[in-house]
Chain A
Amino acid sequence: MNRKNGSVARLTAIMLVVGLVGLSSVACARHGSPAAPSSAATSQAAPAAWADPTASTVAGPESPSASPASAASPQAPATTPDPLDSELQALDQVVNDVNGSISSIDPGSSGGE
């Protein structure tokens, strides 16, 4: 009789342990544990990345310099290049080209003539 009671108690203890392990694994899966990835975890991450498209276009999603404030700032479109920048660069290039043409002539050389 004592032996029968002992085996029932052992069986109950084993079932209790198995139940606890099952519950804990389900809980881990719901919280996105890396040990137990699930489709639920990835589907929750995606909308977070789509939430602020300016964050990825202005500074990149993983840029360390991108602060949350600047990413969410309504002034983000102000980073559009100023046309005057390219116009001034074109002027610098014009001067360089003229200088290059003048420098191509070495007044001290006759080229053997």
Chain B
Amino acid sequence: MKTRIPVLISGLAIAGALALSSVATATATGPIVPGGLAGRGVCATQFAAIKAPVNVEALRAFGDCEIQRRFTTLDALAARVSGSKVLTSSDAAALSGEIATTRSGLTALKATIDAETSVPALKTDVALIATRFRVYLLVAPQVHLVSAADGVLASQGSFAKVNTNLAARIAAAKAGGRDTTAAQADLDAMNAALTKAVGLATPLSATLLPLTPAQYNAGTAGPVLTSARTALAQARDLLKSAVQDAKACRAALK
């Protein structure tokens, strides 16, 4: 019995270490939290406090927390825009401008909330954090969707290189007397899929960037976002198909 206790303790220690390491791995590789990098739950304590008989301090704390959560998200979005290799300079400038405007608006609202002294006025101000800026429902989707659209357009450069390479190989094989019908069909399919994907992505930036929180609140921006997401999913599938066509073309030439 005495010898079993140390064994049990060491077993628990190993299990604990494994559990901790799996949590660390999940955190490192997990998806982006939809409510922002800090997560929706970050203001749960402050939210619980305003359910009780509400007072100015509790409302202010909740408002400040929600604004800080959005600042964190805006920082992440700004980093994504500035670090993007596919955004065009004009789209990056437009998104950076929108993020900066949103940040300055939230900063001003925070000052208003911090100076407010009545509960009804604070309730109105706190509601504006979401409705006036729409960080999660509009700004973040704009950044991600425009990045995806520009990514599809930027892929043309990579596909052009592959097209040049494969076309040269087909020409060489044909000159050598080989049947290149299948390889040429694969290359044509690659280019056709790319053309369709580019066609889907091309108009998206121009429709996404002008959207405003007011349009979202009026119900007109939401369908545009949904439509853009659908188009980009189709474009992504077409790009996948084009990559497979390129690989099939190469295989047909071996």
Binding site for B on A (CB under 8 A): 83-84, 87-88, 90-92, 94-95, 97-99, 101-113
Contacts and interface: CB of A to CB of B under 8 A. Distances in A.
Interface-central residue, A92, A95, A112, by most chain B CB under 10 Å: A112
A83 B135 CA distance: 43
A90 B151 CA distance: 12
A66 B166 CA distance: 32
Given A101-B147, A111-B34, 7 more contacts: A91-B246, A94-B239, A98-B235, A105-B141, A107-B229, A112-B35, A113-B137
B229 A102 contact: yes
A97 B86 contact: yes
A46 to B, nearest CB: 42
B interface, by DSSP: helix, strand, loop or mixed?
A: helix
A91 B236 contact: no
Contacts of A106: 34
Contact of B151 (A83, A101, A110, A113): A101
Given A104-B32, A111-B35, A112-B66, A88 B243 contact: yes
B154 A104 contact: no
B103 interface: no
Contacts of A90: 158, 161
20 contacts: A87-B158, A87-B162, A88-B243, A88-B246, A91-B158, A94-B154, A101-B144, A101-B145, A101-B151, A102-B145, A102-B148, A102-B236, A104-B144, A105-B145, A105-B229, A109-B35, A111-B73, A111-B136, A112-B35, A112-B66
Given A107-B226, A111-B137, A112-B66, A98 B151 contact: yes
A103 B148 CA distance: 10
A111 B158 contact: no
B137 A105 contact: no
A98 B229 CA distance: 11
A6 B170 CA distance: 97
Contacts of B232: 98, 101-102
Interface residues of B, number: 45
A88 B32 contact: no
B174 interface: no
A73 B152 CA distance: 44
Contacts of B137: 110-111, 113
Contacts of B35: 109, 111-112
A97 B135 CA distance: 22
Interface in B125-183: 130-131, 134-137, 140-141, 144-145, 147-148, 151-152, 154-155, 158-159, 161-162, 165-166
A88 B250 CA distance: 10
A107 B122 CA distance: 30
Contacts of A88: 162, 243, 246-247, 250
B233 interface: yes
B31 interface: yes
B243 A92 contact: yes
B152 A98 contact: yes
Nearest to A112: B40
A112 to B, nearest CB: 5
A97 to B, nearest CB: 5
A87 B157 CA distance: 10
Given A88-B162, A105-B140, A111 B40 contact: yes
A13 to B, nearest CB: 70
B246 A98 contact: no
